[in-house]
Structure 1
Amino acid sequence: MSRPFIFALTWLALIGASSPALAISVQDYFSIQEQASVQNVEQRQARNALNGVHAGLYDAFAAMLLAGDGKIYTANGPLICVEPGTQFRIQTIRDLIGQAVGTFERPALSAQALEEFPLGVHLLKELANKHPCTRSDRQENKR
């Protein structure tokens, strides 16, 4: 597949597949997570909401990784590169996303920025830290 096609397909998947999960703020995500951990009547609703957010993240990033053959592209080339030879099954992708979501900590942002910072961007950052592209990945992309 050509790079522009992969890029377009990636962003269509990002925008269309699960935009509500990707667009919520990091603050909202942590609020839902905290509600889900408290033992009260609203715990079940919060847990269901958190599961829905995670499912949306899995769907969006699975579509991007599958469309990019293990890479997530930006306009400047590949940003996230999963190790070559990784079998892309649903569980593998869930594990990759789960590892990134599992490392979430409240970012060192102002309260206003925390409310406005999209969860999808935070997850992209975490995945890029865990699965960065090498120089050879970027060179291969230019060919």
Structure 2
Amino acid sequence: MATPDLDRLAERVKMHRLEQYSSRDAAAAAAGISRNTWKRVEEGQEVYESTYVKVDKALGWATGSCIAIIEGGDPVFADSPTTSSPDPAPGMTEKQARDMAWDTARATLPTAPVGELDAFVNELVENLRRAGIVTDGP
């Protein structure tokens, strides 16, 4: 395993911190760590790996970016297309959602009482509606 490049990480963290925060105190507070711990990162000193996860988050980087920098890579921004969630599912009618949920519930739980299946289907359709997937009425 290569020697960790903590100086490289320190340089990158400081550069991004200066772009986003007015002080080390503000960055440390956003990360949920002490000012001294943030200072250790910016000075290229070793810290716990869990600290790097907090620094990643505070800088808007995807989890693992600090480690990637130490290993010679680059940070990945949390809102980058490579780390964003997939496109939302296309909308469906309530009837389509109910039919799909009912067929799946019956196939998965063939001995469940009809009343329980209905309750499950109703709850699922309501959750899909809140998520914006079910887009219209019955």
Q: Same fold (TM over 0.5)?
A: no
User: 1 or 2 for the larger relative contact order (CA 8 Å, sep ≥6)?
Assistant: 1
Task: Report which of the two has the higher share of strand.
Answer: 1
Q: Where on the TM-score scale, by shorter chain, does this alignment land: which range?
A: under 0.3
TM-score (norm 1): 0.25
Task: Report which of the two has the higher share of helix.
Answer: 1
TM-score (norm 2): 0.26
